[in-house]
């Protein structure tokens, strides 16, 4: 009877050791995965600075909105290109 209890205890200890080893590997994998990919619901430590938005204008000919840096003025109106300014 003592031999049976000894072997049962040995099997139990081996299974317990294997189970704890697997849990440790899973926890390390989760920690590594969280370090590589931050949680999208937590705010970042340092907010990213966004570039200033540029003013958008509407072309008097076609109605397309375009950046003010590409503006072509003619006859007191704003146009998106030289071709529309000449029409």
Q: Is residue 23 part of a domain?
A: yes
Domain count for the chain, please give it: 2
Please, how many CA atoms are within 13 Å of residue 69, restricted to the half-sphere of its CB? 2
Q: Is residue 76 part of a domain?
A: yes
Residue partners of 64: CB distance under 8 A and separation at least 6? 58, 80
Mean pLDDT of the chain: 85
Tokens of 22: 């697997």
Q: Is residue 45 part of a domain?
A: no
Has this prediction a pTM greater than 0.75?
no
Q: Is residue 47 part of a domain?
A: no
Reduce the DSSP state of residue 57 to 3 states and report it.
Answer: strand
Q: Is residue 46 part of a domain?
A: no
Q: Is residue 39 part of a domain?
A: no
* Residue 20 pLDDT grade (very low, low, confident, very high; cuts 50, 70, 90): very high
Q: Is residue 80 part of a domain?
A: yes
Residues 30 and 59 in one domain: no
Q: Which domain holds residue 28?
A: 1-34
Q: What is the dihedral of CA 71, 74, 79, 82, to 10 degrees?
A: -80
In this prediction, residue 38 carries a pLDDT of: 62
Q: Is residue 21 part of a domain?
A: yes
* Residue 14 pLDDT grade (very low, low, confident, very high; cuts 50, 70, 90): very high
CA distances, 21 to each of 26, 32, 34, 56 (Å): 9, 17, 20, 60
Q: How far apart are CA 67 and CA 71, in angstroms?
A: 7
């Amino acid at each position: 009877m003592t031999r049976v209890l000894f072997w049962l205890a040995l099997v139990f200890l081996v299974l317990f050791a294997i189970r704890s080893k697997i849990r440790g590997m899973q926890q390390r994998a989760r920690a590594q995965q969280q370090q590589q990919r931050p949680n999208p619901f937590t705010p970042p430590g340092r907010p990213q600075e966004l570039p200033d938005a540029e003013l958008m204008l509407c072309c008097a000919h076609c109605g397309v909105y375009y950046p003010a840096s590409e503006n072509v003025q003619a006859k007191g109106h704003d146009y998106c290109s030289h071709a529309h300014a000449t029409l």
